[in-house]
Amino acid sequence: MSAQPAEPAPAITLRSERPQDGAAVDALIARAFGPGRYAKSSERVREFATFAPELSVCAWSGERLLGCARMWRVRVGGRAVTFLGPFAVELGERNAGFGARLIARACEAAAAAGESHVVLVGDEAYFGRVGFAAAPGRAVVMPGPVDQRRVLVRALTADAGELAGMVAPL
Ligand SMILES: CC(C)(COP(=O)(O)OP(=O)(O)OC[C@H]1O[C@@H](n2cnc3c(N)ncnc32)[C@H](O)[C@@H]1OP(=O)(O)O)[C@@H](O)C(=O)NCCC(=O)NCCS
C-alpha cells in the first residue's frame, strides 16, 4: 500500500496582537464564549494582570481573524510568569490544528522573552496535548473559586522548576 501524500498545512499567518486587532479579537472571544465569559475565574486574573500583546498571537487568513491566544504577565509565588487566555478559534475553523499552532507560537514567544512558565485554566484533555499539565496539589492558587484540576502549567525550560503560590499582580 502506498503512503498518501501529506496534506499541505493550511495557509494562515500567525502574528502577535497589534493595537488595531483588539476589536476583532474581542468580537471573536465574545462569539466563542458568550456572555458567561465574565464569570470565569481567569477573568479575575485578567482584571489585575498586565496584558502582553507582544506575546499574544492572532491567526489570520488574509484579513480574516481565525483564532487568538492572549497572554498576560502575572506573579506566582514571587516569580514573574505568563497567564494564557482567552484562547479561541472561530467556529467552522476548528479541528484543523490552528489552536495547537496558536498555543505553540504563544509559548515560543514567551520562552524567547525569557519567561519560565505559562499558566492557564482549561481542560487538561486538550491542553495536555500541547505541553500543559495540572499543577500538583494546590500549588498554584487562583484568586477565586476554580476546579483545581483545570489549573494547568507548562514549563518553558528544562530548569524552570515547579511553580507554587498565589496568582497575583506583577
Ligand atoms: C479550544 C479551541 C480553541 C481549540 O481550537 P482548534 O483549532 O479546534 O484546536 P486543534 O485543531 O488544535 O485541536 C482540535 C482537537 O482538540 C479536541 N478538543 C477541542 N476542545 C477540547 C476540549 N475542551 N477537551 C478535549 N479535547 C478538545 C478536538 O476534539 C480535536 O480533537 P481531534 O484532533 O482528536 O479531532 C476551540 O475548540 C475553541 O475555540 N473552543 C471554544 C473556546 C474554548 O473553549 N477555549 C478554550 C478555553 S480554555
Range of the domain at 67: 13-168
Q: Which pLDDT tens digit goes with each residue over 84-119?
A: 999 999 999 999 999 999 999 999 999 999 999 999
Pocket test for ligand 1, best of 40, 90, 93, 95 (most atoms within 8 A of CB): 95
71: CATH: 3.40.630.30
Would 30 be classed as within a structural domain? yes
Q: Which pLDDT tens digit goes with each residue over 119-158?
A: 999 999 999 999 999 998 889 999 999 999 999 999 999 9
Q: What is the dihedral of CA 61, 64, 65, 67, to 10 degrees?
A: -50
Would 2 be classed as within a structural domain? no
Would 1 be classed as within a structural domain? no
Would 34 be classed as within a structural domain? yes
Counting atoms of ligand 1 from 1, which one is nearest the CA of 130? 12
Q: Which pLDDT tens digit goes with each residue over 46-64?
A: 999 999 999 999 999 999 9
38: confidence class by pLDDT, cuts 50, 70, 90: confident
Q: Is the peptide bond before 35 cis (omega within 30 degrees of 0)?
A: no
